[in-house]
Structure 1
């Protein structure tokens, strides 16, 4: 397994007793033998790392040094229908990276380092049963023409999770042996250990991309955009299906020129094999006033791009939270403009959906 430092230098592992009793929990603890084990009653309730606004001053340090080990209590698969047919039960949540627009801190609170769930065997058994019950996909849809697609990384970045445990590999092995289904996850981190997994086309990696200058401000602790682009051909050659996740699209004063340059770069770099299987999803920025206030305490420069009230309006999310999005008809015009850019500059890339 690839050396995790400097993204991770784990010195404290907050662990539920039930997680420490499981083989996966013991394997994770053994990876950092010098780390302090801090017993906790629940992975959701750790004041030192979650839900305390004073933690904003230690935002990145917490993500680097802390790891939470828990047991996922609710093992369930949910319908999706947009990026994937189903959302698989998470094997982790939180992230060691620190993208300024990330929605996960809104749910669990503030810095939100990686929480790994040790009951991977229970999760895998559940998924195997769910896949079996679906049978063969009868009709194509925007998720995939043939396979049932399961997003396995809704609340974390699986490429980073794979630095911590074998959970992601276990799931990819499950889908590798599932001819009617495939795994899918978006990532901003290039983990080349995954190139040795031989997924046989049953795992779809969606590399998240945005213009270089915007990413330098908002995508903190991630793999640089050139590194992500350079990895696409290699992952296709290694047997992955590779799509692009243009997310979030941030409307800067130069966004049209910046996206034009990015799309031309992709057209130049991608191999014919990569282009032949290429598709993308487009997601425009959704932000949140609470996260905006937190970000001002640790990365105010990012908010200059993300918080633009003159261009934004309130949006009620599916979970009841009040967020902000670009105003209508500004957003509709921007979606149409980006679609037209892709058709002109990267015509091999099919747009799966845009919103």
Structure 2
């Protein structure tokens, strides 16, 4: 089973305050044989973070370790691109191991799932914020009618839903909010979510890229063909389903590879799925620190991710020194790919591309 492959929890690092909450106790009860290790801070765990000797154990840490914490910051942040707002995270980190993931830049070596046990506080903060917004009076590219809240900025909600009911509880909350919907991107297919009562207020964004490339950089994720097939199932279950063409990675054959993917997608989708489809197109951003870490556990990925001949440095809005494709060349790449999407899948509305 996918669950068994991703999560074989042997150690639960837990803040005492998380163990006092119902969600924390529920999660510990799911893995009764796991060692529970008290920690003061869910970020600073020497066994997991900050020790370079852990790099070769990257995937094992993700499989065997789970962290329980209490989310302190309950701030809802404006976004305007993928969503109108970014909700406070109910989790951080991931059991999957995409080589380009930005979370390790913040968290240290590896990044197993941290589940926040204070789900009630998080849900109340989001509900208060949505109520203050009132009705959305002007349509935008996020949504023409409803305020959109991204709930999965720092984790993959489909995997999080294997661990606890946090995600389903937010889906239930948004079902009752007349002016808002939630959204999250995922690379994992969790069939149990097909049975959830979401009321049409959940948008799932399946991340897609050429399958051969994904075998190198999308470690431990659902296969690309499985993701594409699942779009139809989730549309039939009443979900709004978009796609993320992300990250777009430049290789010698990148445009041909994307054409193949788009034709596979076109062949896989039902008319109902095509009718409601929209896409986000996001080109790769990489980071020198992550590059150095990846060389310790997955150097093959760096052959395509780290391309000084194509990339330039750029400081992000968070102050990180990242590398992106050189701006003039990237503008051409964006034009090429968006034109290809319009040619192969003209029904797929491009929400934004950068």
Contact 1:185 1:206 in 2 (8 A): yes
Q: Number of aligned residue pairs: give it.
A: 354
Q: Residues 93-112 of structure 1 correspond to what in structure 2 (within 5 A)?
A: 93-112=92-111
In structure 1, C-alpha distance between the alignment counterparts of 2:331 and 2:88, rounded to whole Å: 33
Q: State the 1:3 CA deviation.
A: 7.3
In structure 1, C-alpha distance between the alignment counterparts of 2:165 and 2:25, rounded to whole Å: 12
Alignment correspondent of 1:122: 121
Contact 1:198 1:238 in 2 (8 A): no
The reply on whether 1:348 has 2:347 as its aligned counterpart is: yes
- Structure 2 counterpart SS, 1:310: coil
Q: State the 1:328 CA deviation.
A: 2.1
Alignment correspondent of 2:184: 185
In structure 2, C-alpha distance between the alignment counterparts of 1:234 and 1:139, rounded to whole Å: 31
In structure 1, C-alpha distance between the alignment counterparts of 2:201 and 2:271, rounded to whole Å: 20
Gaps of 5+ in 1: none
Alignment correspondent of 1:290: 289
- Structure 2 counterpart SS, 1:198: coil
Q: With the length of structure 1 as denominator, give the TM-score of the two structures.
A: 0.99
Alignment correspondent of 1:262: 261
Contact 1:124 1:174 in 2 (8 A): yes
Q: With the length of structure 2 as denominator, give the TM-score of the two structures.
A: 0.99
Alignment correspondent of 1:316: 315
- Structure 2 counterpart SS, 1:110: coil
Alignment correspondent of 1:135: 134
In structure 1, C-alpha distance between the alignment counterparts of 2:323 and 2:14, rounded to whole Å: 35
Alignment correspondent of 1:48: 47
Contact 1:3 1:163 in 2 (8 A): no
Alignment correspondent of 2:327: 328
User: Residues 48-67 of structure 1: CA distance to partner in whole angstroms, max 9, x if unpaired?
Assistant: 10122221011000000000
In structure 2, C-alpha distance between the alignment counterparts of 1:273 and 1:199, rounded to whole Å: 18
- Would you identify which runs of 4 or more consecutive aligned residues in structure 1 move more than 2 Å? none
Alignment correspondent of 1:157: 156
Q: Residues 262-281 of structure 1 correspond to what in structure 2 (within 5 A)?
A: 262-281=261-280
In structure 2, C-alpha distance between the alignment counterparts of 1:291 and 1:54, rounded to whole Å: 15
- Structure 2 counterpart SS, 1:309: coil
- Structure 2 counterpart SS, 1:133: helix
Alignment correspondent of 2:112: 113
Give the stretch that moved more between structures: 317-326 or 44-53: 44-53
User: Aligned Cα RMSD in Å?
Assistant: 0.8
Alignment correspondent of 2:146: 147
User: Residues 275-304 of structure 1: CA distance to partner in whole angstroms, max 9, x if unpaired?
Assistant: 111000011000001100110110000000
- Structure 2 counterpart SS, 1:4: helix
Q: Residues 169-248 of structure 1 correspond to what in structure 2 (within 5 A)?
A: 169-248=168-247
- Structure 1 counterpart SS, 2:280: strand
Give the stretch that moved more between structures: 336-345 or 52-61: 52-61
In structure 1, C-alpha distance between the alignment counterparts of 2:181 and 2:244, rounded to whole Å: 17
Alignment correspondent of 1:35: 34
Q: State the 1:269 CA deviation.
A: 1.0
Contact 1:153 1:184 in 2 (8 A): yes
User: Residues 308-353 of structure 1: CA distance to partner in whole angstroms, max 9, x if unpaired?
Assistant: 1000000100110100000121100000000000000011100000
Q: State the 1:4 CA deviation.
A: 2.4
